[in-house]
Amino acid sequence: MKFLSVISLCFLLCLCVHSVLSQNANTPPRGWNSYDSFSWIITEEQYLQNAQIISDQLLSQYGYEYAVVDYLWYRSLSGGSNSRGNDCIDEWGRMHPDAKRWPSSVGWNGFKNVADKVHGMGLKFGIHLMAGISTQAYDANTPILDTTTGKAYEESGKVWHAKDIGIPERACKWMDKGFMALNVTSGAGKAFLKSLYQLYTSWGLDFVKLDCVFGEDLDFDEITYVSQILKDNKSPIVFSLSPGVGATPDMAKKINGVVNTYRVTGDDWDQWSQVVSHFDVARDFAAANLIGAQGLNGKSWPDLDMLPFGWLTDPADNEGPHRLTNLNLVEQQTQMTLWCMAKSPIIYGGDLRNLDSWTKDGVIINPTLLFINSNSSNNTEACESFLLLLGRIFFSSIVAEGSSNGIRAWIATGNNGGQTPQGRISTLLFSI
Ligand SMILES: *[C@@H]1O[C@H](CO)[C@@H](O)[C@H](O)[C@H]1NC(C)=O
Ligand SMILES: *[C@@H]1O[C@H](CO)[C@@H](O)[C@H](O)[C@H]1NC(C)=O
Ligand SMILES: *[C@@H]1O[C@H](CO)[C@@H](O)[C@H](O)[C@H]1NC(C)=O
321 preceded by a cis bond (ω within 30 of 0): yes
Query: Cα(287) to centroid of ligand 3, in Å?
Result: 13
Tally Cβ neighbours within 10 Å of residue 234.
6
pLDDT for the residue 395: 60
CATH number of the domain that residue 166 is part of = 3.20.20.70
Query: Cα(423) to centroid of ligand 3, in Å?
Result: 11
Which of 165, 185, 193 has most ligand 1 atoms within 8 Å of CB, for mutation? 185
| Nearest protein CA to atom 9 of ligand 3, as residue | 421
The answer to whether 126 and 205 are in contact (CB under 8 A) is yes
Query: Cα(366) to centroid of ligand 2, in Å?
Result: 13
Q: Would you say residue 192 has pLDDT above 80?
A: yes
pLDDT range class, residue 427, cuts 50, 70, 90: low
pLDDT for the residue 20: 41
Q: What's the count of helices (H) and strands (E) in the chain, helices before strands? A: 13, 22
Q: Would you say residue 9 has pLDDT above 70?
A: no
pLDDT range class, residue 10, cuts 50, 70, 90: very low
Domain count for the chain, please give it.
2
Containing domain of residue 142, as a range? 21-374
Residue 185 beta carbon below 6 angstroms from any ligand 1 atom: yes
Shared-domain flag, residues 325 and 196: yes
Q: What percent of the chain has pLDDT over 70?
A: 86
- Sequence-ordered strand ranges (E) for 203-327: 207-211, 238-241, 261-263, 293-295, 298-303, 311-312, 323-324
pLDDT for the residue 19: 37
Q: Would you say residue 1 has pLDDT above 50?
A: no
pLDDT for the residue 408: 82
pLDDT for the residue 23: 85
Domain end call among 374, 396, 423:
374
For 157, residues 6+ apart whose C-beta sits below 8 A from its C-beta are none
Residues with CB under 6 A from ligand 3: 377-378, 413, 415, 421
Domain end call among 358, 374, 390:
374
Among 65-69, 122-126, 259-263, 313-317, the range scoring the smallest mean pLDDT is 313-317
Shared-domain flag, residues 418 and 322: no
Shared-domain flag, residues 74 and 133: yes
Shared-domain flag, residues 2 and 52: no
pLDDT for the residue 425: 67
Shared-domain flag, residues 232 and 155: yes
pLDDT for the residue 16: 30
Burial 272-306 (b: 16+ CB within 10 A, else e): bebbbebbebbbbbbebebbbbebbbbbbbbbbbb
Shared-domain flag, residues 127 and 10: no
Shared-domain flag, residues 338 and 425: no
Residues with CB under 6 A from ligand 2: 63, 370-371, 374-375, 416-417
Shared-domain flag, residues 386 and 352: no
Q: Would you say residue 178 has pLDDT above 50?
A: yes
Q: Would you say residue 49 has pLDDT above 50?
A: yes
| Nearest protein CA to atom 11 of ligand 1, as residue | 183
Express each pLDDT in 380-406 by its tens digit.
Answer: 998 766 666 666 666 655 544 444 457
Q: Would you say residue 175 has pLDDT above 50?
A: yes
Q: What percent of the chain has pLDDT over 90?
A: 80
Q: Which residue has the higher pLDDT, 418 or 11?
A: 418
Q: Would you say residue 15 has pLDDT above 60?
A: no
Q: Would you say residue 417 has pLDDT above 60?
A: no
- Sequence-ordered strand ranges (E) for 244-375: 261-263, 293-295, 298-303, 311-312, 323-324, 346-348
Shared-domain flag, residues 99 and 138: yes
pLDDT for the residue 325: 97
Task: Ligand 2, residue 18: give the atom nearest the CA.
Answer: 4
Q: Would you say residue 418 has pLDDT above 60?
A: no
Shared-domain flag, residues 277 and 304: yes
Among 12-21, 51-60, 229-238, the range scoring the smallest mean pLDDT is 12-21
pLDDT for the residue 401: 46
Shared-domain flag, residues 47 and 14: no
CA quadruple 39, 33, 331, 287: dihedral, nearest 10: 120
pLDDT range class, residue 426, cuts 50, 70, 90: low
Burial 113-132 (b: 16+ CB within 10 A, else e): bbbebbeebebbbbbbbbbb
Angle, CA 360 vertex, CA 60 and CA 328 arms, to 5°: 155
Domain end call among 352, 374, 396:
374
Shared-domain flag, residues 332 and 422: no
pLDDT for the residue 6: 47
pTM metric for this prediction: 0.92
